[in-house]
Structures are given as structure tokens and as C-alpha cells.
Chains A and B, each alone.
Chain A
Amino acid sequence: MEPEQLAFASEASAWLADNVPRRWVERRSSLVEEEVVQIRMDWDRRLYAGGWAGLSLPVEYGGRGLGLAEEVLFGELAARAHAPDGYGRIGRILTAPTLIARGTDWQRSRYLQKILSGTEFWCQGFSEPSAGSDLAAVKALARRVEGGYRVTGQKIWTSFAFHADKCLFLARTDETAPRYRNLTMLLMDMRQPGIEIRPIRQISGGSEFAEVFVDDAFVAEEDRLGAEGEGWSVAMTVLNSERGGVEAVSRYVEMRTDIDLLLGCCAKLADRIPEAEEFETRLELVRWQVRKAITREGDERAFTSATGVLKVFWSELWQEMTRMGLDSMCPVHRDHWNLAYLDSRATTIYAGSSEVQRNIIGDRILGLPR
């Protein structure tokens, strides 16, 4: 490792040791949902105050101006420290890089610092009742009005909507233009009349995601992200982040806690250590896969190839891990595995189902006929 990276790592370890909330490390699975949200929101703010938010984002917007390599390094250390996942993950992982790639200067200075500091939380308004895997079929309609748009429609599976201040909202702006050219990305204020949020009860019993009903809500002209009609291409930028390296590292952090439970206790009890060790090998490969991708950033084809397999790889592994946890019938961690098992059923559905991901690998990476 380079001397600067070594210094970065030792500084990060020391900070994590002092700042990861004990209550999270020790009692994570027995906390009620409100407290989980609170701890996760506080974690975003603590990261920002400590200078650990937005490691790979530019300094001028409150980031650290480092690279994906430091994201991976920090992720590895945060994983070992069993740090929580910040509640602002949509803003941090999806909105921020998209604003940097496609946003205006005004949008960047208006939103980025508030995302990183845990001042404003975001949700992602993509899926609709009849537009799931077929995302281009969104129907929520944004009509041009003086100074901006009036939006009406319904979104579903919107994670974090209940506590969100802002929404990355994909709307149809043209009823006559052809598919893929009729959409526009909007930065919508969730705290306004005309927005109703109904939590959806998930199979785990929790309600992290919701239905969002939008009735004549307003979005100002300057809150359009990209040009009118470019929404599909902006959405692809968002999805690349959602299925890419930074996201995988953040999942690695969460999964590392689970593998440590298995290896330290539950798998031992179930006499299934070799299997758990294989899970650990696969989990470490998530991190190494991102590291390999970094070395290929200059070669678009190789980079896409390396990152394109991540989502399928970590999501399917996580499900196998939680099933082992459940099967172990560990008396100490039973509550945790009950919840984690059910929660992890979502991993192969959200952010592009495994079926869609395999189509993408087949069509775009392997070049198979459609």
C-alpha cells in the first residue's frame, strides 16, 4: 500500500474505533425500527463531521476528493468495525454521483453538501405498479407549467420515502415521443402538498419502503436533471451506480457483520464452518472484485465487465448466508437471523432483479442476441 493510503487507513481505523455506536454493534437486531433509523441518520452526520463522507466526491462539494480505492479501503475498515449503513444511502450512492455526472452547477451546490452532511435525505422514485423491471414504462406525468412542472402519478417500492426530503423522480414528459425518449428526471421536494406516502408492510414486518402518491406536485425548472426527454439516459447513470462498486462496498460492510456472526458463533454451533468459510471467501471476493475493477477504469469494456457481475454476486450470496444463519438455530442470534433471512429475500429483486441483471450481462457484456 502507498504511504498516503496507510496513513488514511490508520486514521480511519482510529476514528471508527471511537465512533461506531456501541448500541448498534451489540444490540443491532433487537432495536425497534425508529431507533434503527435514528442511529443510521446519526451515522451519516457523524461521518460528515469526521470528514469521512463522500470520499470519492470532489472537495468543493464537501467530499474528500479521493478515489474508489479509498472507498473500498474505508469500507473494509468500517466492515471490521461493524459500522452501520448510513440512512442517506440513496443520496450518497445514487443522487450525488448522478448530480456530478449530469447536474448543473446550481444543483450541485444546492444539494451535494446537504446529502453528505445528512441534512437532507433522498428516496428514488423510479418503479411504478406497472413499471418494475420494465422501467421505461413509467406513467407518472409531468406537465409543463410556468416556471417548471406539475407532476401526477404513483410510485411504488420507494425505500426510505417516509423520512425523505427529496426524491429522484422519473416522469413522463411527452405522451407522443417514442419509448426511451419520453422521460425526464426531476429532483422533487417531498415536503409539499400533493404528496402522500403510504408505508408498505414488507414480508419481514418492517416498512422501509412505501407507495408514493403524487397529485399535482410542483418541480421547478432548475430541478430538472438533464434535458427534457433525456430521463432514460439519466436513469441509466443512476442504475449504474446502484449496481456498481460503491454500492457493492456498502453491502460488503453490512454482510461482513453477518459473516462474522456465522464464523464466530452460529456456523460453529451448526457444525457448518467449512461452508461458512466458503461464504467468507465469496464475500471477500466482492471487495476484491471492486479493487480489480479500479485497475481497469481506463478500459471501459473491462471495467463494465468487472462491475457488471457485482450485483448478482453479492445479492445471491447474502441470501445463502442468512439461510445458514436461520438454519443454525443459534439461541443468541435467532432474532437477528429471522429478520435477516426475510429481509435478504429482497436483495435479488431490488435495484434490478437477478433476472434483469442476467439479461444485461448477456446482452451488453457477452453481446448475445436479444
Chain B
Amino acid sequence: MSATLVPTEIGVTAAEAIRDLCARAVGGTPVAEYAEAEPLAWEVLEAGGWDLVGAPEADGGGDATLLDLVLVARAWGETIVPAPFLTSLMAKRWSVAARDCEGPVTFAVADPSWSQPGHVPFGTVAPHLLRSVERDEIVPTPVGKPEPFAPSLRATTVGVVSELTAQAGGELAVVWAAEATGCAERLLAMSVAYAKERHQFDRPIGSFQAVKHTLSSMKVLAETAETAVLWAAIESGHRHRAAAWALDASLDVAERAVQVHGGMGFTWEMGLHFYLRHITVLRQLVRGLPR
């Protein structure tokens, strides 16, 4: 029993706007051509005020609910445009100092698997780092060691870890999981289109039950992963478990997308690996969040 699953107007509007903005920046371009480039300048996001969508109204923000931000993050995840949008959005939701910054903001998340303790998405491009939510402290982003596994996340490792509250950690888990479910939606759509188009044995491969059932299972996962992030947004007590499940389900979708694309799926230029990499790193980031 709990609150409504219906987003407010700002969530719907912002998600549409973000989808448009990404389409204008990279629409029709293969992900492999832009994942390592800079297709969307920070100034465009800032000019639209989209980085402030989740901030309080009194500070010029859009006062979006976490459920609204799920919609926004899903829209963003569809294209994995490499820009520090979601980290800035969340930092500016929690921190006055972040809202006062010019330029994008990020934070360092604990990750025990690196030689340095902090994992910073967009550490190579965001000049500001939220050091502590409680003390509202912003520092210049330390120059870190580039972590190139997921190019669309421009990550570094650094010597510090941001002090995020459990509340902030929960919200971030939901937003990153929602981003991953956006990736999953997009991968499913790409896979369905490919299975309709690609012919073998004189038939579209999507007409073979073996392939069809793989795609149907992807649909089951993508649908329920979306449901999981909506649930996570509404019930704070279940944030981490629902987000973790949505991330796992999204990765399952991504793996099957590679399989459905066959040999093409395994090529660098087809670009599915950028999504695969993106989702795996989001999973790692979420695991490092405070609870």
C-alpha cells in the first residue's frame, strides 16, 4: 500500500524534452560514432534548466518527485549520450552548493575493486565534485586515473569517496537503475527491428520461435524492470532491492540483445557493447552506494 504510480507534469514534460534533446543530438547516428565523442554540450542541458529539474522550486528547480526522475532517467538511458547529466541532476537535487556551481557536478562512489577507493562517473569532464551531502561541500574534481571500460560514462578513479546520505544513496540507486531500464527498452527495440529485417533461410529471423521467444523473454524483463524502478521510487524501504533487480534484468536484456544480433552483435561498430558496458558499470556504481 502506498502512494500513486502516476508522475507529475514536470516528470512527463522533462522526459519528453530530454528524449527530444537526445534525438536532436544523436538521432539516427550509430552509438559507436558518438559514445566516445561529445555529441551534446553541457550548455544545452544547462540552458534548458534540465539539470535543475529535481531541485526545490524555491531555488529555481522543477521540484520533480523521484518517480518523475525515473521517467527522465529512462529517457536519458535510451541513447546513453555521454554527458554528466544525471550526476549533476542528482547533486543539484541535494546540495545548495552544487546548485550554485557553474558546470556539471559529479561524485565519487565507493568501489573496492579499484586501486583507488573512489569511482567517479564523468570524472574526466565534470569540474565539480560533491564531497559531502550533509556538509553541502563541493570541491574541484580531483584529477583521477581514467577508467575507460565504459566510454559513455567517462569515469575515473580517485583517492576520495563522497559522503552521501542513505537517502541520497537510495535515490541515486533508483535513478541509475532507471537509466539502465532505459537502455534495456532501447536494446529491445533495436533487437526487434533487427529480427524483422535480418533474413536467413529466406525468412526474417524474428519468425523463428527460438529467436521470437528470446525477444519475448527480453520483453518480460524490460516490462518488469520498469515496474521495479517505479516501485523503488515510491517505497523508500525497498529502493535497493528493487533497483538491484532492475539492473540485473536490464543486463540480461543487453546480453540477449547481443545474441539476437548474432555476429553483428559482437562487432565494435554495431555498438551494443557500449550499452553492455554502460549497464555493467551502473551496477557496480549502485553496489557502492550507502544504504
Within 8 A of A (CB), among B170-223: 192, 195-196, 203-204, 206-207, 209, 212-213, 215-217, 219-220, 223
Indicate with 1 or 0, residue by residue over A12-32, a CB within 8 angstroms of chain B CB atoms.
000000000000000000000
Q: In the complex, which range does the number of interface residues on chain A fall in? A: 35 or more
Indicate with 1 or 0, residue by residue over A233-273, a CB within 8 angstroms of chain B CB atoms.
00000000000000000000000000000000000000000
B224 interface hit (Cβ, 8 Å): yes
- Which residue of chain B has its CB nearest to the CB of A365? B219
- Which residue of chain B has its CB nearest to the CB of A293? B227
* Selected contact of A295 from candidates B5, B204, B220, CB within 8 Å: B5
Alpha-carbon gap, A46 to B139, bound state (A): 65
Distance to closest chain A CB from B97 (angstroms)? 36
Distance to closest chain A CB from B192 (angstroms)? 5
- Which residue of chain A has its CB nearest to the CB of B218? A366
With a cutoff of 8 Å between Cβ atoms, the chain B residues found around residue A342 in the complex are none
A285-B231 in contact given A1-B3, A367-B192, A368-B195 (Cβ < 8 Å): yes
Interface stretch of the complex, out of A50-58, A187-195, A353-361: A353-361
* Selected contact of B212 from candidates A73, A282, A309, A358, CB within 8 Å: A358
Distance to closest chain B CB from A311 (angstroms)? 10
B1 interface hit (Cβ, 8 Å): yes
Distance to closest chain A CB from B253 (angstroms)? 13
* Selected contact of B1 from candidates A9, A292, A313, A357, CB within 8 Å: A9
A45 interface hit (Cβ, 8 Å): no
With a cutoff of 8 Å between Cβ atoms, the chain A residues found around residue B3 in the complex are 1
B115 interface hit (Cβ, 8 Å): no
Alpha-carbon gap, A291 to B2, bound state (A): 11
Indicate with 1 or 0, residue by residue over A62-80, a CB within 8 angstroms of chain B CB atoms.
0000000000010010000
A178 interface hit (Cβ, 8 Å): no
Distance to closest chain A CB from B193 (angstroms)? 10
A366-B216 in contact given A76-B1, A278-B245, A281-B241 (Cβ < 8 Å): yes
Q: Are A1 and B1 in contact (CB under 8 A)?
A: yes
Alpha-carbon gap, A304 to B1, bound state (A): 24
Indicate with 1 or 0, residue by residue over B224-262, a CB within 8 angstroms of chain A CB atoms.
101110110000001001100100000000000000000
Q: Are B219 and A361 in contact (CB under 8 A)?
A: yes
Q: Are B192 and A366 in contact (CB under 8 A)?
A: yes
- Which residue of chain B has its CB nearest to the CB of A286? B224
Q: Are B215 and A362 in contact (CB under 8 A)?
A: yes
* Selected contact of B223 from candidates A5, A309, A358, A369, CB within 8 Å: A309
* Selected contact of A369 from candidates B206, B220, B230, B241, CB within 8 Å: B206
A359-B209 in contact given A282-B245, A313-B220 (Cβ < 8 Å): yes
Q: Are B207 and A288 in contact (CB under 8 A)?
A: no
Q: Are A359 and B212 in contact (CB under 8 A)?
A: yes
Q: Are B215 and A366 in contact (CB under 8 A)?
A: yes
* A-B CB contact pairs (8 Å), 9 listed: A1-B3, A73-B1, A288-B228, A295-B6, A312-B220, A313-B220, A362-B215, A365-B219, A370-B207
